[in-house]
Amino acid sequence: MTAHTDEPKTPQSESAAALLDRAARAAAAGMSADELRALLRGDPPTDRPNPRYRAHVESFFLHIRPRTYAYASTWFTHTFRLGFFAVFLALVEAITGILLMLYYVPTPAGAYASIWRLQTAVPWGEVLRDVHRLAAELMVAVVALHMLRTFLTRSYKGPRAFTWITGVVLLVLTLLFAFSGYLLPWDQLAYWAVTIGSSMADGVPLIGPRLRDLLRGAAVIGPDGLLCFYQLHIVLLPLLAALLLGVHYYRVARIHGISLPARVEEGDMPEAERQAARRKVDFLPDLLTHEVVLAVAATIALIVAALFFYDAPLQSHADPLRTPLEAEAPWFFLWVQGLLKLGNKTLMGVAIPSALLALLALVPFLDHNPSRLWRRRPLALTLAGVALIGFGVLSYMGSPSYGITLPAATEISQRLAPEEHRAGLRAVPFAQLPVGVYVVGKTDPATLPPAFAPVFADLARRVDAATADGRLPDARALLIIEDWQTGLKRATLRIGWSDPAGAGPRTFERTIYLPDAAGSHARGPARSAQSSALSAPPE
């Protein structure tokens, strides 16, 4: 704003302007209406001392943000705004979580049904749950990447060491959030992942069994266990996380700021450029605007992803009497599952992860390298690379196919008619599953509908392979598809073979139910005959 219009004003307009100004000052931490306009127009401050800085003193929300940032610390490729996105996702979790709590019932009898109701009978319920789940998984990724970025730029020097440690604690809290939220839908995935997790707690020296019983609430997870995880998820962890985030962010904002890129601090850079990189940038208005734009873009991206690309998984109702085949940890815990295949829980489930965490927390004190430049940190970067590859390998070992050999007939059924996963017959559209009896070796896959044919051909190939390598001598396989009720078909797979020990014919049979995905319960959970799922979805 370059010039004020100094035309004489009528008493009415003067009082109206004064009223507007008072309202602006009350709402915007002392900034006048003119100042707010100047902010929106990108003009310099209207007064001295700078009323924007005064707002940083008077307003709580602005007080916890720095007044100025060093220009280079705001470069997108320096931080990728990962810390910002972590906080953004935490807020998304809080908001969607509060809405989900309106419907969720934390009892074994009510939990699964309440999720089902949320997904089918509540406006936007399914999107809400999808966003909550998607943002949770993204948050784990973003927090981990945030830590990786801080490591790669060596932004944990000096006073930032303690900030790094609070960051490690926040990483643990994020993982605990994800883990405690895992049990709440009370499906098979949830129940057995948490059974394994609480059994790992048993491996803690001295207090292990008590800790396990505390988490489970009984010898096996039941009503008390579910309630325990629910209260962890909605009360204890949010309180701790808010506290820790406060400490973490306060240090960044008040004590040391965001680190400068290493090349600005110590690289070869012309002095003028360095001066420009170090110059102060006001938070108001440009950085705030930038953050609002990022938040809006991220919100839209989340909602679009939840609407069209992502469905929060929901397996069959938890069955405490039966562990599903191919139980799989969430991707961010696959490395633990891989470790656990190597040994007992005290060593692999407790000692090694704790040691890794301790090592991570101590990184600032172990790294004595004075330089932050990549080319002068070959050892640190190599170790980081090795660690990442190690996590990749362990995660691969954690996948269900590694180290677990199923009996041949069970393995074939699991590929064709999996207990839980949306694969094989479960991935075939409802309309392409004609009622009939299909016999391997007699039915020609070419006569079958296009989506069904490859699945059946795959069955034939696996049966032939098992016969050829002697696992299932004289194997015969039969698939029966029946109309079971409106919008529901039943598939029965029967595999017969002669016992290698000569004990006569043997058979294996599995039955699964296939709901009509185009019906009103479009994204219904997978169901298997062995599970005590809810009765089939009503018409």
Contacting residues toward another protein, per CB under 8 A: 192, 195-196, 199-200, 209-210, 213-214, 216-219, 224, 321-327, 337, 340-345, 348-349, 403-410, 471, 506
Intra-chain end-to-end CA distance of the chain, in Å: 66
Cα separation, 539 vs 537, in Å, equals 6
Angle at 412 between CA 535 and CA 416, to 5 degrees: 50
Which residues make Cβ contacts (< 8 Å) with residue 143, sequence separation at least 6? 86, 170, 171, 174
- Residue among 213 and 367 whose Cβ is closer to another protein: 213
Distance in angstroms (rounded) separating the CA atoms of residues 440 and 472: 14
What are phi and psi for residue 495, nearest 5 degrees?
A: -115, 130
Tell me how far, at minimum, the Cβ of 494 lies from another protein, in Å.
15
Are the beta carbons of 104 and 115 closer than 8 angstroms?
Answer: yes
Cβ nearer to another protein, comparing 317 with 345: 345
Element containing residue 402 per DSSP (H, E): none
Query: Least distance in Å: CB of 496 to another protein?
Result: 13
**Identity of the residue, 342 or 435, whose beta carbon is nearer to another protein in the bound complex:** 342
Which two tokens mark 110?
A: 């009510």
Residue 241 CB, nearest approach to another protein (Å): 20
Between the CA of residue 124 and those of 70, 92, 115, 131, what are the distances in Å? 42, 15, 13, 10
> Which is closer to another protein, CB of 120 or CB of 199?
199
Find the shortest distance in angstroms from Cβ 232 to another protein.
11
Nearer Cβ to another protein (213/291): 213
Secondary structure of residue 309 in the 3-state scheme: helix
What is the distance between the alpha carbons of residues 45 and 22, in angstroms, rounded to a whole number? Answer: 18
Q: How far is the CB of 458 from another protein (least distance, A)?
A: 21
**Minimum distance from CB of 508 to another protein (Å)?**
9
236 vs 386, which CB is nearer to another protein? 236
Closest approach of Cβ 417 to another protein, in Å? Answer: 16
Nearest distance in Å: CB 311, another protein: 25
Q: Give the sign of the dihedral formed by CA 199, CA 201, CA 204, CA 206.
A: negative
> Residue 495 and residue 18: Cα distance in Å, rounded?
86
The strand pair at 527-528 and 505-515 is best described as antiparallel
Best CA proximity match to 312, nearest among 76, 469, 115: 115
Beta bridge partners of 506: 497
Beta strands, E only, 59-151: 68-70
**Of 218 and 239, CB closest to another protein:** 218
Q: What are the DSSP calls for 433-489, one per residue?
A: --SEEEETTTS-GGGS-TTHHHHHHHHHHHHHHHHHTTSSTT-EEEEEEEEEETTEE
- CB-nearer residue toward another protein: 135 or 327: 327
Residue number, 415 or 506, with CB nearest to another protein: 506
In the bound complex, what is the minimum distance in angstroms from residue 353's beta carbon to another protein? Answer: 14
3-state secondary structure of 285: helix
Q: Least distance to another protein from the beta carbon of 198, Å?
A: 8
User: Cα angle vertex 85, ends 82, 89, to 5°?
Assistant: 140
Question: Please, what is the minimum distance in Å from the beta carbon of residue 331 to another protein?
Answer: 16
From the CB of 214, what's the least distance to another protein, in Å? Answer: 6
Cβ closer to another protein: 349 or 524? 349
The residue among 87, 79, 86, 85 whose CA lies nearest residue 149 is 79
Residue 495, helix vs strand vs coil = strand
Q: Is the peptide bond before 270 cis (omega within 30 degrees of 0)?
A: no
Nearer residue to another protein within complex by CB, 282 or 328:
328
Taking the C-alpha atoms of residue 507 and residue 204, their distance in angstroms, rounded to an integer, is 43
Whose Cβ is closer to another protein: residue 114's or residue 337's?
A: 337
